[in-house]
Chains A and B, each alone.
Chain A
Amino acid sequence: MANLNTWEQFWYYLVNNGSYVLSQFVRHFLISIYGVLLAAIIGIPIGIIIARKRQLSAFVISVANVIQTVPSLAMLSIVMLGLGLGVNTVIFTVFLYSLLPIIKNTYTGMASVDKTILDSGKGMGMTSFQILYMVELPLAMSVIMAGIRNALVVAIGITAIGAFVGAGGLGDIIVRGTNATNGGAIILAGALPTAMMAIISDLVLGFFQRRLEPKKV
């Protein structure tokens, strides 16, 4: 009975605060996307470079690993010391967490391209840049996409915590719910869309990842 009550309250909240929830939803999504995109812009080239210079790979990947092991709340606080309260802190934190899966997958994807294919490409007179964008990247793309997919799901979770540093997003609704007496319904109004966003992102990127899968010879 109480459960049903909470659901009723949840619907009531959604109907009355629909535009607020929607705007936080969009904000939440954008924060996550920005962080991941930034990580992709930096991380993919790093992945490419360490795939070319294997000696660097161990070092770079272990640095990214260390970043990953810092608990997200601690990371938020540390970044906040530098960037202050607000949305930038969250974007930067998301960026840091996304680096590892993106760098690692780019590296793995590039390294797993069949050497004989690269050799034949070079032998046919492709420049190393042509080999990169006509052969290596297309063949590594599905693995890179898997890294981005991973990063985005994690990012959506981290962004939820970002409400603590005043970045807004669906986490903001959850915080409100925890502060209100009997705020279960409000918490749901923040938590359910967050979960949905994570699941749908995962499905959509998973679809792209499969589409990009290279055909096996």
Chain B
Amino acid sequence: MPKENPIVVFKDVKKVYRGGNIAVEHINLTINKGDFVCFIGRSGSGKTTAMRMINRMLEPSGGTILYNGEDIHKTDAVKLRRRIGYVIQNIGLMPHMTIYENITLVPKLLKWPEEKRRKKAKELIKLVELPEDFLDRYPSELSGGQQQRVGVIRALAADQDLILMDEPFGALDPITRESLQELVKHLQEKLGKTVVFVTHDMDEALKLATQIVVMDSGHIIQNASPSEILQHPANDFVEDLIGEDRLMQARADVTTVSQIMLKNPVSITPGRSLSEAVRLMRQRRVDTLLVTDDDDYLKGYIDIETLNTSYRHATSVSDILNTKIFYVVDDTLLRDTVDRILKRGLKYVPVVDKNGKLRGIVTRAAIVDMVYDTIWGDSDDGGESGSEKNENTSRSGAASNAREV
């Protein structure tokens, strides 16, 4: 796979802790400039370990890591760390330093002149929408969310273009977390920073990442874009991690109407007589009939009520044809249809192709089926649940015929 602009490359990296505990193994990973990479996995899966090897807080036991094409093992660890922003979970602000001193710590280590540091601090504090006089405060005088904002801008103060973040927002309330997520997403998108972000919150990963690295017991299970992960989870573990709700959501995101529609809907042509229509309804046990012309173009529908009230003065289907019909085109995404079907309280919606020819119907029951499939319908499930599923499919088939208005 050709990768345009790698900033960090892991080559068969391994880390064994003292005592022989293999924390990560066979890590191969390319992080491109401007990417937002999320490491996600259960506790102890090796996310922190993998991340901390990038700025040499940990030394790999095997393999190499390149930073901007350079083997980091051959660089000066201290200089490397000054080039890479680092935000830890507990924020780690220096309690005895003012916010200004905290923000400008790395620039100070790099011996920037005072005016340049002052200017940078003011610029950054504005970026996170904190008042400028906060610069003279101590961390203890800020709220947790404000402290973490400072933690984030501290990692940018020396114009680092790579920022490592280890579960930075875990301890924050949802609203603060959201605004900080927006901040880092903004930094990555607008300022072109590369972000490596450890989390075990799939929502956070899906929201922020351009690339999600799923880890389990020290191995990379899947490394792909969020949509790829959602649509093609590598295995059960990844599916579990994503969760049923999101998988269903994701499936609705890519499933088209034609994939779940019932083919061969009950239909009739306008020229037929009403008695034929009644017979057909009774035979198929339905209360409405879709009406198509001889070439299958959808014209409208008739229902049992109108038929009942106009039986005496009408003779053919075309006399009671209701042309006000809501339909969907077969390549519409299910996601866009579900809402409309539910909102209109429709029991089913006819599906037509691009030319207006009737292709099938989508019923509420079919949507229920999809939900059911997503949650319990794994193909490698035991026989019992398999038969249960079949039963349900046939039941839903019956339901689709027993339409009610």
A202-217 to B contact mask, C-beta < 8 Å, 1/0: 0000000000001111
Pair B140/A123 contact, Cβ less than 8 Å: no
A124 and B105 form a contact (CB under 8 A): yes
B104-122 near A? 1/0 per residue, CB < 8 Å: 0110010000000000000
Name the A residues within 8 Å of B141 (CB-CB): 215
Q: Which of A50-58, A98-106, A114-122, A167-175 binds B?
A: A114-122
A209 CA / B91 CA spacing, docked (Å): 27
| Contact indicator per residue, chain B 93-111, by CB within 8 Å of chain A (1) or not (0) | 1111000000001100100
Assess whether B81 is interfacial by the CB under 8 Å rule: yes
B92-A116 in contact (CB<8A)? yes
Bound complex: CA A37 to CA B47 (Å)? 48
Instruction: Say yes or no for B185: interface residue by CB 8 A criterion.
Output: no
Rounded to whole angstroms, the CA-CA distance of A217 and B96 in the bound complex is 9
- Give the docked Cα–Cα distance between A139 and B78 (Å): 22
Contacts of B91 in A (CB 8 A): 116, 120, 217
Asked if A126 contacts B95 (CB within 8 A), the reply is no
Knowing A125-B79, A125-B106, say if A119 contacts B88 (CB, 8 Å): yes
Q: Which residues of B contact A122 (CB under 8 A)?
A: 57, 81
Residues of B within 8 A of A139 (CB): 95-96
* A116 in complex: contacting residue of B83, B88, B139, CB < 8 Å: B88
Please indicate the chain A residues that have their CB under 8 angstroms from the CB of B96 in the complex.
Answer: 135, 138-139, 214-215
The interface residues of chain B lying within 8 Å CB-to-CB of A127 are 78
Q: Which residues of B contact A216 (CB under 8 A)?
A: 95, 140
Q: Which residues of B contact A126 (CB under 8 A)?
A: 78, 105, 109
Residues of A close to B93: CB separation below 8 A: 117, 120, 217
Smallest Cβ-Cβ distance to A120: which chain B residue: B92
Closest residue of chain A to B101 (Cβ to Cβ) is A134
Indicate whether A124 sits within 8 Å of B81 (C-beta atoms), given known contacts A117-B95, A119-B92: yes
Determine the residue in chain B with the shortest Cβ distance to A117.
B92
- Contact partner of A120 (CB less than 8 A), chosen from B78, B79, B88, is B88
With A116-B88, A125-B78, A125-B79 given, is the CB distance from A217 to B147 under 8 Å? yes
Q: Does A130 contact B (CB under 8 A)?
A: yes
Contacting pair B95 A125 (CB below 8 A)? no
Which of A124, A135, A138 sits near B106, CB closer than 8 Å?
A: A124
Q: Report chain A residues within 8 Å CB of B79.
A: 125
Cβ-neighbour of B86 out of A114, A117, A123, A214 (below 8 A) = A123
Of B94, B140, B154, most A-chain CB atoms within 10 Å? B94
Distance in angstroms between the alpha carbons of A214 and B96 in the assembled complex = 6
> Quick check: is B225 within 8 A (CB to CB) of the other chain?
no
Interface residues on A, range: 20 to 34
Bound-state Cα–Cα, A117 to B93, Å: 7
Instruction: Assess whether B57 is in contact with A123, with CB atoms less than 8 Å apart.
Output: yes
| A residues less than 8 Å from B28 (CB atoms) | none
- Complex alpha-carbon distance, A204 and B105, angstroms: 33
Chain B residues, CB < 8 A from A117: 92-95
Shortest beta-carbon distance from A211 to chain B in Å: 12
Contact check, A217 vs B95: say whether CB atoms are below 8 A apart: yes
Q: Please state if A217 and B139 are interface contacts (CB–CB under 8 Å).
A: yes
Q: B82 to chain A: which residues have CB within 8 Å?
A: 124-125
User: Is the CB of B55 closer than 8 A to any CB of chain A?
Assistant: yes
Residue of A nearest to B92 (CB): A120
Q: Give chain A nearest CB distance to B60 CB in angstroms.
A: 17
Q: Given the complex, which residues of B lie within 8 Å of A119, measured CB to CB?
A: 57, 88, 92
- The docked-state distance in angstroms from the alpha carbon of A124 to that of B90 is 15
CB pair A135–B81 under 8 Å, yes or no, is no
Interchain residue pairs A-B with the least CB separation, the first 7: A120-B92, A125-B82, A125-B81, A123-B86, A116-B90, A215-B140, A217-B95
Q: 26 A-B residue contacts at CB 8 Å?
A: A116-B89, A116-B90, A117-B93, A120-B92, A122-B57, A123-B55, A123-B81, A124-B82, A124-B86, A124-B105, A124-B106, A124-B109, A125-B80, A125-B82, A125-B83, A126-B105, A127-B78, A138-B96, A139-B96, A214-B95, A215-B139, A215-B140, A216-B95, A216-B140, A217-B139, A217-B140
Known: A117-B94, A120-B88, A123-B92. 4 other contacts (CB 8 A): A125-B83, A130-B109, A215-B140, A217-B95
Which B residues are closer than 8 A to A by beta carbons?
A: 55, 57, 78-83, 86, 88-96, 105-106, 109, 138-141, 147, 154
